[in-house]
Amino acid sequence: MQQFLIINQFAQNPERDRVIYKLFSTESTVSWDEVWYLVHDFSTSYFLKRFQEQARTDNRAYIRKYFELFAMRLKMQQGKYSEVKPVLDKLLTDPNTDGDYEKLFTARVYQAEAECAKEAKKETEQNNWLYRLYTLYPQLVPYCGMPMNMRLHISGDIDPAVEKRLRACNIHAVTNSSIPAPDAFVIFTKNGAKKDITYYVLDAKGNYIVQKQSFAWQKPEETGVALAYRLFNIGGKGEE
């Protein structure tokens, strides 16, 4: 409902071409990633034509790939996954992409690649793309609709209720070393009435994805959910 109200207000704005739909316009009122969530449920054909045209005609070489990505995501909504995959591959080799400053763009392409692999029932490819997405931008993964493979290492004075709630979240615990997955470490400690959880996540090379940190807890149900988010670098001190 809120999305409908917002887009309805925008639709009545005579300057919406510049302040909403033209990505990276100096007059824009929303970020490029927010634009997608405002338009993706409304008139797919209209926006597909619009973004395809802008991808062809926009004179900003560093911006055209964003219009292409939007167009491809709209094609995915039409079920045209086989047409999308080659374009996504091309976007990942675009020489005009800055790896340091355009991580969100690259992460969204990884997400789209994972979704295409899922649709094609290519589980190995899906796992690989999801792992790449997680290592680059873990905060996006809980909202992409696909369970994340993780190797969970839980130790210490374990609370069964917290562990049960954690495992009930959209996390797929794996043990097979051939599956690309981060290693998530969770350590329970208890000192009298004080209960703490220390956690961190490493990639396959042993580099930190989520920095080591701790938090106190009381309620198992809430803690299990909070811990799950923290394993995606959401809610902790290391959140970016």
Residue 186 near residue 155, CB atoms below 8 Å: yes
Q: How is the chain split into domains, by residue range? A: 2-123, 147-230
Residue located via tokens 């979704």:
115
Query: What per-residue confidence (pLDDT) applies to 34?
Result: 75
pLDDT single digits (tens) 141-180: 999 999 999 999 999 999 999 999 999 999 999 999 999 9
* Beta-strand pair 183-191/194-202: antiparallel
- CA pseudo-torsion sign 222, 194, 235, 211: negative
Query: What per-residue confidence (pLDDT) applies to 6?
Result: 44
Query: What per-residue confidence (pLDDT) applies to 45?
Result: 79
pLDDT single digits (tens) 17-60: 554 455 566 555 567 777 777 776 666 778 888 888 888 988 88
* Beta-strand pair 183-191/171-173: unpaired
Query: What per-residue confidence (pLDDT) applies to 120?
Result: 96
Q: In angstroms, rounded to a whole number, what is the distance separating the alpha carbons of residues 186 and 209?
A: 14
Query: What per-residue confidence (pLDDT) applies to 51?
Result: 86
Query: What per-residue confidence (pLDDT) applies to 19?
Result: 44
Q: Give the mean pLDDT of the chain.
A: 88
Query: What per-residue confidence (pLDDT) applies to 46?
Result: 81
**pLDDT (mean) for 62-86:** 93
pLDDT: which is higher, 107 or 53: 107
Query: What per-residue confidence (pLDDT) applies to 10?
Result: 46
Q: Which CATH class is domain 147-230?
A: alpha beta
Query: What per-residue confidence (pLDDT) applies to 107?
Result: 97
Q: Write the CA distances from 198 to 136, 150, 232, integer angstroms.
A: 22, 17, 14
pLDDT single digits (tens) 178-213: 999 999 999 999 998 899 999 999 999 999 999 999
Look up residue 214 and give its two tokens. Answer: 């701790």
- Least reliable range by pLDDT among 5-9, 71-75, 123-127: 5-9
